Amino acid sequence: MSIHILFNPKSNNFTGKAAAEALKTKLGEVADMTDVTTVIDVGGYFARFPADDKYYLVGGDGTLNHFINDVEGIDIPEEIYFCGAGTGNDFLRDLGTSPDEPVLIGKYVKNLPTVTVNGKTCRFINGIGFGIDGYCCEVGDKMREASDKPINYTSIAIKGLLFHFAPRDATVTIDGVTKEYKKVWIAPTMNGRFYGGGMMAAPEQDRLKNETVTTVLMYGKGRLRTLMAFPSIFKGEHVNHTEQVAVLKGRDVTVRFDQPTSLQIDGETVLGVTEYRVVAGGGS
């Protein structure tokens, strides 16, 4: 049996390789290291090695997102572990494990939900953010291009709530039932509980129960009222603000905004989106 470490060098402000090297030292065993961003044919990569080899994937939620889409339709080895080396690590936070604790991911990458945006469909592991959460990722990307300083997404969100982000009107259709919402600040659809680096958007969502996803809307209030309620999302207590938060569960979800808005999929930004559709359990 051999050990293989797949890492994303861009993770956590380009510290992914260092995290992989630290893991190799911690394991105390001979292991080959591969930049996962250079692996074009993932199925072919796994086919090169014996079936009982062990693998470690080192990166953040975005790395995991790319991996789950690269291996779609492929029988992956049983022993694939994920080690968190990202800025958010919401997948591991949802599992209640620390980033440096390897986790077998086989059962978590089956029957995942899909999201369709701008005609393209992919799977996701944590959640879709639409609204100020997508805006935060857009601003964070621009800041990352200009500087190597750590990105404070909470600060971006607060400034957006106070000054820069304008809420949208939204139409939400879940399993054929359509409702309209005014002044929508966030409209994520979640496979897990956490997104955005620690926001517990959907405290009752269970990622292993693939029949439904959870859509959460914070809506209807002005900047100050929304800002007052917003911090409670980090403990999942925003759902108690029923006058401005709606929690909707279903299998087939479509969210439409009345004007283009940035969206994020497991932390990866998509610009200029007016609509997304999520189907639970990878259905169509």
Are the CB atoms for 41 and 70 separated by under 8 Å? no
Among 74, 108, 142, which residue terminates a domain? 108
Strands 189-190 and 54-59: unpaired
Last residue of a domain, one of 44, 73, 108: 108
Give the structural domain span for 223: 114-282
Same domain, 104 and 118: no
This prediction's pTM: 0.92
Contacts of 269 (CB under 8 A, 6+ apart): 134, 137, 138, 141, 262, 263
Question: What's the rounded Cα separation, in Å, for the pair 68 and 89?
Answer: 16
Q: How far is CA 33 from CA 30, 52, 60, 116, 234, in A?
A: 10, 17, 17, 33, 36
Instruction: Tell me: do 182 and 120 sit in the same domain.
Output: yes
Q: What is the pLDDT at residue 102?
A: 92
**Does 221 lie in the same domain as 99?**
no
Encode the chain (284 residues) as per-residue pLDDT tens digits: 899 999 999 888 788 899 999 999 998 888 899 999 999 898 899 999 998 999 999 999 999 999 999 998 888 899 999 999 888 899 999 999 988 889 999 999 989 999 999 999 999 999 999 999 899 989 988 988 888 777 788 888 889 999 999 999 999 999 999 999 999 999 999 999 999 889 999 999 999 988 999 999 999 999 999 999 999 999 999 999 999 999 999 999 999 999 999 999 998 999 999 999 999 985 44
Residues 269, 232, single domain; the answer is yes
Beta bridge partners of 103: 82
Q: pLDDT value at position 282?
A: 54
> Within this chain, do residues 223 and 171 fall inside the same structural domain, yes or no?
yes
CATH of the domain at 196: 2.60.200.40
Q: Do 143 and 47 fall into the same domain?
A: no
DSSP string, the chain: --EEEEE-TTHHHHTHHHHHHHHHHHHTS-EEEEEGGG-S-HHHHHHTS-TT-EEEEEE-HHHHHHHHHHTTTS---S-EEEEE-SS--HHHHHHT--TTS-EE-GGGSSS--EEEETTEEEE-SSEEEEBHHHHHHHHHHHHHHH--SPP-HHHHHHHIIIIIPPPEEEEEEETTEEEEEEEEEE--EESSSEETTTEES-TT--TT-TT-EEEEEEES--HHHHHHHGGGGGGTGGGG-TTTEEEEEESEEEEEEEEEEEEEETTEEEEEEEEEEEEGGG--
* CATH value at residue 65: 3.40.50.10330
Instruction: Mark which of 78, 108, 138 sits at the end of a domain.
Output: 108
Both 185 and 262 in one domain: the answer is yes
131: left (phi over 0), alpha (psi -120 to 50) or beta: left
Looking at the structure, do residues 149 and 226 belong to the same domain, yes or no? yes
How many CB atoms lie under 10 A from the CB of residue 205? 23
Indicate whether 122 and 83 sit together in one domain. Answer: no
How far is 257 from 181, CA to CA, in rounded Å? 10
Provide the residue count of the chain. 284
Number of domains in the chain: 2
Kindly state whether residues 102 and 81 are assigned to the same domain: yes
Regarding whether 255 and 145 lie in a shared domain, the answer is yes
Same domain (yes/no): 150, 82: no
